[in-house]
Amino acid sequence: MKVYLGLGSNQKPEFHIHQALDALYQQFGVLRISPVYESAAVGFSGDNFLNLVAEITAELSVGELLQTLRNIENQNGRNRAAPRFSGRTLDIDILLYGNAVGVVDGVKLPREEILENAFVLWPLADLAPDLVHPQIKLTMAELWQKYDKSRQRLWPVTFDWTPPVDE
């Protein structure tokens, strides 16, 4: 199943994003990643975030995938007791799981942030411009074109990641 994940961090973000990508690669093999964007925190005052979208192929159920992603977040010091709108070492969200629509294993799909946040939609449109949103029936490029870009300021940053070498 083709799955799109949103990754974000504002606490040692370069380190934690690298750790997450390494873990995803080790778990799922080849992955494609979008450019990385920096943006101000949304919903609270805090350090800037780095965000990107990764495409993986997963044979896990949504629930199993969610648990795998939570384990990666936990390994990177994610504080689950922190307020929802607060800084974090690592956040990995399931954005799209194939064409699934609705609540699957407790996860609402597709994730609403695709349509709400530039830090999700812009990298998703970069990575998969022709991907059609399963509910809206527009491509990610079309959705990004229509998005009110004055709602949130973000900018591309240089970020290099190379898959770990198997030993």
The yes-or-no answer on residue 151 being catalytic is no
Are 124 and 52 a contacting pair, CB within 8 Å? no
List 93, 126, 130, 160, catalytic entry? 93
SS (H, E, C) 95-144: EEECCCCEEECCEEECCCHHHHCHHHHHHHHHHCCCCECCCCCCEHHHHH
List 91, 151, 153, 166, catalytic entry? 91
Could you give the angle at which helices 13-28 and 62-75 cross, rounded to 10 degrees? 140
The yes-or-no answer on residue 70 being catalytic is no
List 47, 70, 80, 88, catalytic entry? 88
Which run of H or E residues covers position 92?
Answer: strand 91-97
Are 98 and 4 a contacting pair, CB within 8 Å? no
List 78, 105, 151, 166, catalytic entry? 78
The yes-or-no answer on residue 93 being catalytic is yes
Q: How far apart are CA 143 and CA 135, in angstroms?
A: 12
The yes-or-no answer on residue 78 being catalytic is yes
Active-site annotation, residues = 78, 88, 91, 93
